[in-house]
Amino acid sequence: MQQAKISLMVAWALMMPSACNDASNGSSDDSATYKSLMQDVLINADYWDEEPMILAAGLGFTNINGVPGINEPSPLGEEAVREAGGTWNTLDCGDQIPSAGDYTSAATPAQVTFGFGVPTLYSDGLPIEMSWPVLAGTLDIDDIQVTLSDESVVKPEAVSIFPNFEYNERSTIVIFGQFGNRYDPTTHPDEAVYPVFFEIVDDDTPLLLAGPNGQIRSAVGLTYGEPGDQLTAYKTGNGPTLVAAKLSVMSTLGENGPAAFQGNLPNDGVSLYMDRAQYRLRILTTGGFSPDGVLGVRPNEFARYFRLRAETGDGEEIWIESSGEHSIDGYSVEVVGLADLGLAAGDGIQYNDCYDEDHDNQIDIVLAGDEEAMRRITHVEIPATGDYDPLYNPGGPGNAPTPGVVYSMPSPRILQEVTIAIDDPMTVSYGERQ
């Protein structure tokens, strides 16, 4: 069985057409777009815990961050992706013209440079979720060490906050490099290589995090992983999951980013649903959730993937399983739809195989209704079985996988506790846009 690697799903081709030209090599200097991205700017950015910590980290997808030839005429682009171990979707886009990002989660070296400052070739993608947003100007490849199961210690080839570029996000670090292979450690313990331990280490510009009450703290010394951990999405049951969820009053503050990255904006709840968007249940994911590893999640698909758990004043459990209005203790809660994905339908935007979304680590479940009902919501669940589809990180198989190639695992059942942040939205701001 081919043990090829696969990569982070990216939307560079969708956001910035000029970044789509293929390049087999590039300058070692940071790209101008990368410099505009990696500024110490936070606007209403979410933090997820009172203390700074690494919430999750692990190998998600391998070998397709920097594949030359993706933009070659058919079938050469598809052949380049499949040869590298990626997938290439069969699309139904109506009269829309697909981009490369609709077909595959792979990225060319030039596209990597757009979001990560330097090109990589056939590198692996690995997200690291932090409890506090990072000051991006202090983030570089020397901040992070990864210990692998073969006892080697490696550092990234490239690092960024992309695709979490919006000023109210920025709590997920994404690193590209060589972090393992696709063997499942439960079935191939001798062949599998994967991360077991992560550490934020000291350098000339220590990584800084912004937290509540104006705190700025060094991330040096934060770790994730323990002996025996198998931190890879190629292990059975280790598909993408949730690490936090927070319900707050709807706000659009910080729902923007550097100009070069705004192709899928505005995608916030108000832009999609106007005054129906009263509350936002934001979830933090360990990978860019996708139906198959390539396609975008669509705003009208709440019932396909999610349900909410609530508890009445008498302790009765209630499940909210569909869009529309529901009642909890006589109080109203309406699931309006999903947001922080892509643009609203209309003006040529259709919810089909060419629906372009941002593939970042946040998804918003937009709600309306009574505050008393919101306070009774306790959990968000991704059942991933039965009537509910699982979700994949960008290493997923797509809808036309290559026979014999190993892809990353689907999401397991996830039941994530919801923090009620109606009184305090748990956000921070820092710096000024340049």
- Asked if residue 263 has pLDDT above 60, the reply is yes
In a domain, 315, yes or no: yes
Query: What is the radius of gyration, based on Cα positions, of the chain?
Result: 20
pLDDT confidence band for 303 (50 / 70 / 90): very high
Domain membership flag for residue 351: yes
Phi, psi of 333 (to 5 degrees): -140, 130
User: Hey, what's the torsion of the CAs at 41, 101, 289, 33, to 10 degrees?
Assistant: -10
Across 296-303, average pLDDT? 98
Question: How many separate helices (H) and strands (E) can be counted in the chain?
Answer: 8, 23
Domain count, the chain: 1
35-52: pLDDT as tens digits: 999 999 999 999 999 999
pLDDT at residue 82 is higher than 60: yes
Mean pLDDT of the chain: 92
Domain that holds residue 385: 12-430
Write the DSSP symbol of residue 418. Answer: P
Q: Is residue 328 part of a domain?
A: yes
CB–CB of 395/407 below 8 Å?
Answer: yes
- Please name the helix (run of DSSP H) or strand (run of DSSP E) that holds residue 280, with its range, or none: strand 279-285
366 forms bridges with which residues in the sheet? 280, 337
- 77-81, 95-99, 205-209, 383-387: least confidently modelled range: 95-99
Q: Does the structure show a pLDDT above 80 at 6?
A: no
Report the alpha-carbon distance of residue 105 to residue 302 in Å, rounded. Answer: 23
pLDDT over 90 (residue 85): yes
Residue environment code for 155-182, b if the CB has 16+ CB neighbours within 10 A, otherwise e: ebbbbbbbbbbbbbbbbbbbbbbbbbbb
Place of tokens 């936002």: 280
**2 inside domain:** no
Report whether pLDDT(13) > 70: no
Nearest Cα neighbor of 116 from 249, 12, 4, 239 is 12
Residue 214 has pLDDT above 60, yes or no: yes
8 Å CB contact between 333 and 373:
yes
Does the bond joining 195 to the residue before it have cis omega, within 30 degrees of 0? no
Of the candidates 18, 359, 13, the one whose C-alpha atom is nearest the C-alpha of residue 162 is 359
> What's residue 434's pLDDT?
58
Distance between CA atoms of residues 408 and 11, nearest Å: 19
Which pLDDT does position 8 carry in this prediction?
Answer: 34
Confidence class for position 348, pLDDT limits 50, 70, 90: confident
The Cα 170–Cα 148 span in angstroms is 26
8-12, 287-291, 336-340, range with the lowest pLDDT = 8-12
**pLDDT digit string, tens, across residues 223-257:** 999 989 999 999 999 999 999 999 999 999 999 99
Q: What is the rounded average pLDDT of the residues 302-307?
A: 98
